[in-house]
Amino acid sequence: MSKTAFLFPGQGSQYAGMGKELAAAFAVARQTFEEADDALGFKLSDLCFNGPEADLKLTFNTQPAILTASIAVLRVLKEETDLAADYLAGHSLGEYSALVCGGALSLADAVRTVRARGTFMQEAVPVGVGAMAAMLSIEADELVAICREAAQGEVVAPANFNSPGQIVIAGHASAVNRAIEIAKGKGYRKSMLLPVSAPFHCSLMQPAADRLASVLDGVAVQQLSVPVITNVEAVANQDAGRVRGLLVAQVCAPVRWEQSMQEMVRLEVSRCVEIGPGKVLSGLMKRISKEVSTVSVEDAATLQAVTAG
């Protein structure tokens, strides 16, 4: 029997104006933004709707903004359609959206937690010390070996296994640049530094993970109504008792997105609905499996397309 998965985007999918149209048209979307505003004590909604882009790109703003915009879309989708998920997953930050969708976290707790998470991740490494780079057309084993050679006592390692031939590395800026040069020397010329403010998902984030652990200790985690395929393990988790530990581990561990989507295929998922800003995850899924149909929902037009379909 074919199954449906809901996917939630992570950092990089934000844009000024996200959620604005839905909030104007649907009370449940408007209420979602108001809930986040109240939880944080400032107008996150205004930042989502109007920018400026420079403020929206700040990690501690980006994370609650994408989360709130995604949950606003989810609630409209639930109100307007009979779509239901058999499995959930979210890319990095998006895992918090998946946990709100599955009932493990309240929206208020989730936005406060990811605002803290963004702050901790930003503060873990001084600006300019770390870097991330997308490495294209390199097999995972080969890239791991390149990172090992490039480290020279510093940190550089795979951070996101996104899709076949697209892996992101993170670590000290000098080590990341060495990895790029070593890859070029081996004939892998497709690589680019990413415009990020910190080296996410590598061991340099350990101070952020430690600080996040104490925040999560004070957050209530309820039983999951739908299993979440976690970034850290790329397998389904429905045990509320494991949620905090997995979220803490996620800060330093690589995002196993390709493996997570392959697990979806193994679990007989035939349709993925990307919920929230952008179409990044739909694009990745097309590269991971041709068997799975994908659709993205982020505004009135895409909502109508799903309703019609």
**154 with 240, same domain?**
no
Mean pLDDT for 90-102 is 98
Claim to verify: residue 177 and residue 225 sit in the same structural domain: no
Last residue of a domain, one of 180, 196, 212: 196
pLDDT tens for each residue of 1-45: 789 999 999 998 999 999 999 999 999 999 999 999 999 999 999
- Over residues 92-103, mean pLDDT: 98
Per the CB < 8 A criterion, the answer to whether 63 and 114 are in contact is yes
Q: How many residues does the chain have?
A: 309
CATH assignment at residue 87: 3.40.366.10
Domain that holds residue 83: 3-124+204-308
> Which residues lie across from 191 on neighbouring strands?
135
Number of structural domains the chain divides into: 2
- Whether residue 159 is found in the same domain as residue 108: no
To the question of pTM greater than 0.95 for the whole model, the response is yes
Final residue of a structural domain among 196, 227, 242? 196
In this prediction, residue 195 carries a pLDDT of: 85
User: Domain check: are 89 and 25 in the same one?
Assistant: yes
CA distance 260 to 232: 9
Active site residues: 92, 201
Question: Which pLDDT score is estimated for 309?
Answer: 64
CA–CA dist 278, 64 (Å, integer): 16
Distances (CA, A) of 78 to 13, 41, 74, 99, 288: 22, 27, 6, 16, 27
172 in the same domain as 239: no
CA quadruple 282, 287, 288, 292: dihedral sign = positive
| Final residue of a structural domain among 140, 163, 196 | 196
Q: Are residues 217 and 169 in the same domain?
A: no
| 170 and 222 fall within a common domain | no
pLDDT in tens, 211-224: 999 999 999 999 99
